[in-house]
């Protein structure tokens, strides 16, 4: 006998170890290689130092001034340079930081903005449906009006979306308050939560909100 008898079970043991390792790797990829872990906090350097805290915060520009298609489109469009030049042909019109914008407007070419928020290709998300049903920008994008550089603030993971779909009353608000990122029912947290559930439940009913949880709602 060349090998000890116990080596006969070695292939089985190695196979079991390999299977467990495979399960562990698959679980790790499933849990950690998602937007929750790979994109939250992502803050790319943009070609133009556009400050949302100045434009949306200090100046109070409505989100739809720039993202004007968000109420009738599946995506939140970026403004053309002509939108920027509506103000900046007078304000800071010779500022070197805006040269890319001026060139873009003059040559009818897009500003090469770096995309911040992105869901996987296998996920379908419609901005129009959510905005028109009282889901505020702040729910998915955070307090953009306080950000100098926009960052990927929320996880946008499947569990993040399902938390909202399972309890839409806690997240819905009046349609005219969707882009008012600092709006609350009450400055008192406990009272705000109470009023949110109370009025939210009624708005879900009035707006005929369908908070779908089936796979095909988001994966098409």
Cβ(163)–Cβ(176) under 8 Å? no
Residue 12 has pLDDT above 80, yes or no: no
Pairwise CA distance, residues 127 & 178, whole Å: 12
Note the pLDDT of residue 30: 64
Average pLDDT score, the chain: 90
Average pLDDT over residues 151-155: 93
pLDDT at residue 31 greater than cutoff 70: no
What residues does each domain of the chain span?
A: 35-44+70-78+117-218
CA distance linking residue 79 with residue 67, whole number of Å: 6
Give this prediction's pTM.
0.78
Please determine, for residue 33, whether its predicted confidence score (pLDDT) is greater than 70.
Answer: no
Q: Summarize pLDDT for 173-209 with one digit per residue, the tens.
A: 999 999 999 999 999 999 999 999 999 999 999 999 9
Q: What is the pLDDT of residue 32?
A: 61
pLDDT digits (tens, 9 = 90+) for 109-132: 999 999 999 888 899 999 999 999
User: What pLDDT, in 10s, does the model give residues 74-115?
Assistant: 888 999 999 999 999 999 999 999 999 999 999 999 999 999
Q: What is the mean pLDDT of residues 206-213?
A: 92
Residue 14 pLDDT > 80: no
């Amino acid at each position: 006998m060349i090998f000890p008898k116990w080596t006969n079970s070695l292939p089985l043991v190695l196979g079991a170890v390999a299977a467990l390792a495979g399960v562990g790797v698959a679980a790790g990829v499933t849990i950690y290689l998602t937007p929750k872990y790979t994109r939250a906090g992502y803050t790319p350097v943009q070609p133009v130092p556009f400050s949302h805290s100045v434009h949306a915060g200090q100046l109070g520009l409505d989100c739809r001034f720039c993202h004007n298609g968000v109420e009738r489109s599946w995506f939140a469009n970026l403004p053309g340079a002509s939108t920027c030049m509506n103000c900046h042909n007078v304000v800071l019109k010779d500022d070197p930081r805006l040269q890319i914008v001026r060139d873009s407007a003059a040559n009818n070419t897009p500003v090469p903005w770096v995309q911040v928020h992105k869901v996987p290709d296998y996920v379908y998300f419609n901005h129009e449906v959510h905005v028109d049903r009282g889901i505020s920008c702040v729910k998915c994008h955070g307090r953009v009006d306080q950000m100098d550089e926009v960052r990927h603030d929320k996880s946008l993971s499947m569990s993040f979306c399902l938390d909202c779909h399972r309890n839409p009353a806690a997240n819905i608000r009046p349609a005219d308050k969707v882009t008012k990122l600092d709006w609350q029912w009450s400055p008192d947290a406990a009272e705000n939560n109470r009023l949110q559930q109370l009025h939210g439940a009624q708005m879900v009913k009035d707006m005929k909100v369908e908070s779908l949880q089936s796979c095909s709602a988001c994966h098409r």
